């Protein structure tokens, strides 16, 4: 499965609540009908005052060509689809997004753990947008992440689903990958991974502590945005 993740920033002069109202009521109705979309999820911050972004929009496609046809290539924060609902959605984003401040990421999803059968609606999610440490190549980063760090992270207490997302075009991607940890309970998430307000965190016990100690081996932690939110599945044809 391929995925387009947009890290949303509201336009100047709009409050977070106004942004959410427009996004969920107006734009989502268009976005869920974009051609080729197999699953569409929105993620709202649990603490909007501390969050680095106003939300995440995640569009899943079975086919990478369909994703690029709808949403453009990896290399631009903006895109210019010529037809269909994707064109309508692009025209609408100017009503509520600061498009030039909105990072985007296109990648392939690898499910590392799943105790919920793919049902993510209503779960709390910690998304870490990963940047490799200085002096490390992308391939070296991926090797450590997938082979050393991921076996630790999938055992973090409270995690019910764990996905890693690898860029389809690393040279043009804004991040080296995304790590997505899902929890059924927000307290469990905060206990494992810290609160919203810091890019870093300092867990005191268990696998979360071990994972935190390992990130210094491959991440530029201060350059790694993180986002804690509640996921709402707006469309899902992958489970039909």
DSSP secondary structure code for residue 62 in this structure: S
Terminal CA-CA length for the chain: 15
**57/222: higher pLDDT:** 57
**40/197: higher pLDDT:** 40
Percent helix, strand, coil in the chain, to 5, is 30, 30, 40
Q: Would you say residue 222 has pLDDT above 90?
A: no
Q: Would you say residue 198 has pLDDT above 80?
A: no
Confidence of residue 240 (pLDDT cuts 50, 70, 90): low
Tokens of 184: 């059924």
Q: Is 171 exposed, middle or buried (0-12, 13-18, 19+ CB in 10 A)?
A: exposed
Sign of CA dihedral 164, 167, 171, 172: negative
Q: Would you say residue 111 has pLDDT above 90?
A: yes
Whole-angstrom Cα Rg for the chain? 17
Candidate from 94-103, 130-139, 158-167, 175-184 with smallest mean pLDDT: 94-103
Candidate from 20-24, 65-69, 101-105, 200-204 with smallest mean pLDDT: 200-204
Tokens of 215: 């990130």
Confidence of residue 197 (pLDDT cuts 50, 70, 90): low
Mean pLDDT over all residues of the chain?
Answer: 92
Confidence of residue 155 (pLDDT cuts 50, 70, 90): very high
Continuous H helices in the chain: 16-22, 28-31, 64-71, 84-93, 138-144, 150-153, 186-193, 206-215
The per-residue pLDDT for 82 is: 75
Q: How many CB atoms lie within 10 A of CB 9?
A: 19
Confidence of residue 202 (pLDDT cuts 50, 70, 90): confident
Q: How many helices (H) and strands (E) does the chain have?
A: 8, 8
Tokens of 54: 């106003």
Residues 173-195 have a mean pLDDT of 91
């Amino acid at each position: 499965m391929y995925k387009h993740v947009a890290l949303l920033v509201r336009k100047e002069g709009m409050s977070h609540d106004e942004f959410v109202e427009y996004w969920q009521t107006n734009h989502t109705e268009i976005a869920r009908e974009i051609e080729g979309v197999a699953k569409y999820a929105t993620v709202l911050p649990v603490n909007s005052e501390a969050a680095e972004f106003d939300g995440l929009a995640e569009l899943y496609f079975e086919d990478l060509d369909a994703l690029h046809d709808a949403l453009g290539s990896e290399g631009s924060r903006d895109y210019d689809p010529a037809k269909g609902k994707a064109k309508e959605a692009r025209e609408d984003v100017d009503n509520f997004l600061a498009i030039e401040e909105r990072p985007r990421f296109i990648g392939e999803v690898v499910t590392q753990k799943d105790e919920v059968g793919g049902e993510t609606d209503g779960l709390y999610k910690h998304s870490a947008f990963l940047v490799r440490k200085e002096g490390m190549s992308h391939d070296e980063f991926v090797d450590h992440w997938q082979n050393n760090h991921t076996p630790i992270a999938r055992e973090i207490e409270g995690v019910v689903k764990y996905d890693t997302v690898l860029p389809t075009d690393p040279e043009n991607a804004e991040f080296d990958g995304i790590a997505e940890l899902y929890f059924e309970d927000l307290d469990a998430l905060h206990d494992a991974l810290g609160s919203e307000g810091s890019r870093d965190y300092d867990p005191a016990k268990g696998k979360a502590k071990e994972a935190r100690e390992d990130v210094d081996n491959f991440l530029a932690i201060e350059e790694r945005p993180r986002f804690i939110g509640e996921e709402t599945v707006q469309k899902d044809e992958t489970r039909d």
